[in-house]
Chain A
Amino acid sequence: MSRFDVDKFIRHVDDHGDRVRAFAADPAGYVATWLARGAASSPRPCPDGGTLTEAERVALETEDWETLYVMGAHPYVLFHLVVAVDLVRGPTPWPEFVEWYRGFVTPHGRPDFAT
């Protein structure tokens, strides 16, 4: 796995509200487009595309935030993407949201997030 590729994807989506809305509407489609752009530009750096392992792809498509946390996605950017997606879909009351989030990260402690 590559934490860099996951962090790059997360930052790309949360950078703009229209991207967050597009991802929230169709996570699998958004990820597929990301991968296609990455493949088309390889091996050149691609600001709006990249590569993902199978496990990373599935975790992003299914919004399996817990797995992404365990994999070592940067906790700051991951948290803000999850907040952003929640805001788009109709925000969960903040106390409930943080309780839910803390609930799934706490069992895993502090995974290494160095890239």
Chain B
Amino acid sequence: MADLVAVLGTPHNPLLYRTMRDPIPDDLRATADNFERFAAHLEHLKVETLVVVGSDHLRKFGHELSPPFVVGKAPRYATTYENEVRHFGLEYWEVAGDVELAGSILGDPVLPDSVDLTLSNEWVLDHAFAVPLRFLRPAWDLPVVPVHTNTNIPPVPHARRFVELGRHLSRSIDQAGPGRVAVIATGHLSTDIGGPKGFLGGASPDAEFDAMAVSWMETGDIDAAVEGCSLTRLLEAGNVTPQFLNFLTAMAAAGRPADFAEATPSRFAAGPFAFWDMTT
């Protein structure tokens, strides 16, 4: 039996990789501190495997094939696409995969009855996965199980399906072989890329949504989060705000209020940080 020892939520803004460097700019100090603190928590909790729930940005999964939920079951992953080097200055990294845990999550040989998952045996991870891993585990020495959720290409799964995914992750980790596992959800609060509210210089595209989102995590109120995360409401807050749905997966995996939840201000849209210590 594996132990789910931590659930985290972090941003994955790729522009942080180029901008959040020593000397850390004042407006990015709080973001850097949160990543450092979360990385220290993972170390302290002796985490052995990371399940990363993120949304590929039309790199691996595009309009040709857009599955709702995909679990990576590869022994090794490469990260970063060429255009992410050009646009964001990212580097190419590699990380091991945890095939056994991936199999448990997938439910080999029969998929779980609560959520329909798709298998991927080969997958280059984009910045949704690479950026949080780079900041949380710069040594790239923990095996991962990437879980893609389609939040970028309509139609996206209903919010309640993200909750089911989180509950399933928690259950399947409990039933897997021994190990100490953390679930990391990555996504956005209100964020608009190439839309009317994009790049407002640190102002939130939708401060009301951000406050509600943090409140849902602080209280663990999944029903309120589901009600507040209709696709219409999410898109109103910004065209990539549906990536907040990954935080519903984190909330459901944890199953209780977050120990820490914050909309961390920066020159970019506010970054979501949340932490659940599952050992207490």
Residues of A in contact with B (beta carbons under 8 Å apart): 4, 7-8, 11, 14-17, 20, 45, 69, 74-80, 82-84, 87, 98, 101-102, 105-106, 109-110, 113-115
Residues of B in contact with A (beta carbons under 8 Å apart): 57-58, 62-64, 81-83, 86-87, 152-155, 193-196, 198-199, 235-236, 239-240
Q: Which residues of A contact B62 (CB under 8 A)?
A: 7-8, 11
For the A-B complex, the count of residue pairs with Cβ-Cβ distances under 8 Å equals: 73
A17 touches B235 (CB 8 A): no
B194 touches A78 (CB 8 A): yes
Q: Which one of A78, A80, A101, A115 has the greatest number of beta carbons of chain B within 10 Å?
A: A80
Q: Known: A8-B63, A11-B58, A16-B83. Contact between A76 and B239, CB under 8 A?
A: yes
Cα distance, A114 to B152, chains bound together (Å): 10
Q: Which residues of B contact A69 (CB under 8 A)?
A: 194
Q: Known: A76-B58, A76-B152, A110-B239. Contact between A16 and B82, CB under 8 A?
A: yes
List 28 contacting pairs A-B, 8 Å CB cutoff, sorted by A.
A7-B63, A8-B62, A8-B63, A11-B62, A15-B83, A16-B83, A17-B82, A17-B83, A17-B86, A45-B64, A69-B194, A74-B58, A75-B195, A75-B239, A76-B58, A76-B240, A80-B194, A83-B87, A84-B86, A98-B198, A101-B194, A105-B194, A106-B196, A110-B195, A113-B154, A113-B239, A114-B154, A115-B154
B235 touches A79 (CB 8 A): no
Cα distance, A8 to B235, chains bound together (Å): 22
For the residues of B in contact with A, the DSSP-based class is loop
B155 touches A79 (CB 8 A): no
A110 touches B235 (CB 8 A): yes
B83 touches A84 (CB 8 A): yes
Q: Which residue of B lies closest to A78 (CB)?
A: B194
B194 touches A79 (CB 8 A): yes
- In angstroms, how far is the closest chain A Cβ from the Cβ of B84? 10
Q: Which residues of A contact B195 (CB under 8 A)?
A: 75, 105, 110
Q: Which residues of A contact B196 (CB under 8 A)?
A: 102, 105-106, 109-110
A79 touches B193 (CB 8 A): yes
Q: Which residues of A contact B154 (CB under 8 A)?
A: 113-115
Cα distance, A17 to B194, chains bound together (Å): 20
Q: Which one of B64, B154, B195, B199 has the greatest number of beta carbons of chain A within 10 Å?
A: B195
Q: Which residues of B contact A17 (CB under 8 A)?
A: 82-83, 86
A76 touches B235 (CB 8 A): no
Cα distance, A84 to B196, chains bound together (Å): 19
B87 touches A84 (CB 8 A): yes
B86 touches A87 (CB 8 A): yes
- In angstroms, how far is the closest chain A Cβ from the Cβ of B198? 6
- In angstroms, how far is the closest chain A Cβ from the Cβ of B88? 10
